[in-house]
Every structure is written in C-alpha cells, then in structure tokens.
Amino acid sequence: MKVQRRVFDAHSHIGEMAAYPYYGFPTPLNPTVFDYPTAAAMIKHMDDHGVERQMVISNYGIPDSAQPFTLNPLVVDAVAHEDRLVGALWVSGMLKDVDRVKEALQHAGERGIRALKATCLLGGTYKVSEWDAETRALWDLSVDAAEKNDLVFHIHTSPAGGSDISNAMEFIREYGKRIKIYVVHLGGGTSGHIKWVPRFLDFVREGYKVYGDMTWTVGFGSRWMLHELQESGQGWDRILFASDTPWSDFWSEYYRIEGTDISEELKDRVFYKNAEELYAIPSGSEHKATAGVMG
C-alpha cells in the first residue's frame, strides 16, 4: 500500500537502539518493535510507502542523554549519500553534554544537514527564565549554528516537565525571530494542544518563524489545527506532515490529515510543499521511483 500523493516526511528517526528496562521493568523492552538501523533500511521503508523524501534524526528514548549523540555519525553519513534524505544533528541544553554538542555542531554546514534537534525529556528545560549563564551559553551555541547555517531547530514537546509547551513558548519568544523553530507533537497531549493551537497563529502573525507537525496528537488536536489554518487562510506554510517512525505509526499519521475535511491545496502543502520549502529542497526535484497510488 502506498500514499495517494507526494509526501515528504518531515520528522522520523534512524538508528538501532538496544532494548532497555523502561520504568524499572525486570527485563529489557523494545516498545517500537522495529527500527531503521541503516540508510538502506529507511529508503526501503520510504519505497514501501511511496514517500519521496524524509528528514532523519537520531533514534532515542532511553534515559541517557549521550545515546542519541552516538547516532549523529549515521545521520551525517546517510544524508551525504542519499539525496532523498535530509538530516538533523542531535544537540542538547544540558551542561554535561557540552562537549558532545560542540562535536555535533562541527557538522552543521555539511551536505544534507538541514536541522538541529533537542529535547528536554532527558533533562534540562526550554524555560529561558530558569537558565543560568552557562546554560544560556550552551543553548546559544546551537542557536548560533542554526542561524549561521539556516538550519531548522526541532524541539520536542510533551506535557509537564522541561518539554512542556509553556516552556517551549519562552524559547520561541527568545529565539523565534532569529531562527526557524519546529514544534514537535503540537504541544504534546490534550493540555499542550489547548495551550498551543490558539497561540500558534498568533506567533505567526507576530513574525515568529514557527513551524511544526501533528504527530502523537490526541484526536481533536490535528483536526483543530487544520481547521484553524483552513478558516483563517494563514499559516498554511507552517504545518508539516511527519510520521515520527518508529515511535509513531506511519498510516495513522497519514490518515489523520488525509481524512480531514480541508482543501486539497492545503493538504498538498502539509504533505509535501512545506517541507520542500522549509528544508530548502530545489523545486521540481521529484523522485519518480516512489510515486504510487493506494493498492
């Protein structure tokens, strides 16, 4: 089965990750069931689903902030050799990761690298008002690199803790007129959607360079966001389709948009055009081999 239209998956994860005894479970678990250990494995996934292009980011999830940095070399190599892939470098706002961040940012200008990715799930916070001078300096390293190299800054959001959308909005107010900030998961959960969706277009109108996807959204969240875009006629270039594979489900993410009652023009933007523009892919560079229809 393949998609019905051109698709650019704006956020997915590459790399093998060992099973881990999450939440004190007595044996190691592999909750995603599968992963994509190589660029070839990711390309096969794309071909199987009819996806033209894809943003790949280090796979992560275990409570070890060093782990996703170990997959940055895989991302760099994958995007250097596969034109259909673009990549994000893993960065962090935690002081214990400063050397790893500096090493990662050495690759910021390399072929195919179009973004940075940070999360506060593993520690730290986006809440600028709580940073000390050293923490601000570390975040500034990544922001400066994003600004210099025109990279998109992906930030994970989830309810409560350092990744809460309320904290992320402080980060956006601090940096969102300098760099493009991509909010992952639509603010994160029911509370996050309700906090974020009404503010999203306000940020757009106020001149902030905010973008994002709707992965992991509670049912009403994506419908609400797409309705706001359709009715207002604003922000059509700011929301992107993403699968977050292997942590989400490709077809669930696809049909939450395909099945929504919005215009085909808006769907075309969300599924492909917005990512093509955001990640600076030359227009007209369609990959013919992946074109497909349902069946």
Q: Are 267 and 258 in contact (CB under 8 A)?
A: yes
Indicate whether 42 belongs to any domain: yes
Q: Is the pLDDT of residue 290 over 50?
A: no
Would residue 1 count as lying in a domain?
no
Residue range(s) defining the domain that contains residue 18 = 8-290
Q: Is the distance from CB of 275 to CB of 247 less than 8 angstroms?
A: no
Q: Is residue 255 scored above 90 in pLDDT?
A: yes
3 state SS of 189:
helix
Half-sphere exposure of 230 (CA within 13 A, CB side): 16
* 78 inside domain: yes
In a domain, 26, yes or no: yes
Going by C-beta distance under 8 Å and a sequence separation of 6 or more, which residues neighbour residue 138? Answer: 92, 93, 94, 95, 97, 98, 101
Q: Taking 80 as the threshold, does the pLDDT of residue 286 lie above it?
A: no
Here the CATH number for the domain that contains residue 111 is 3.20.20.140
**How many domains does one find in the chain?**
1
**Percentage of residues of the chain with pLDDT beyond 90:** 93
Q: In the prediction, which pLDDT does 281 show?
A: 81
Residue 2 lies in a domain: no
pLDDT digits (tens, 9 = 90+) for 173-220: 999 999 999 999 999 999 999 999 999 999 999 999 999 999 999 999
Q: Is residue 3 part of a domain?
A: no
For the segment 96-112, the average pLDDT, to the nearest whole number, is: 98
Residue 295 lies in a domain: no
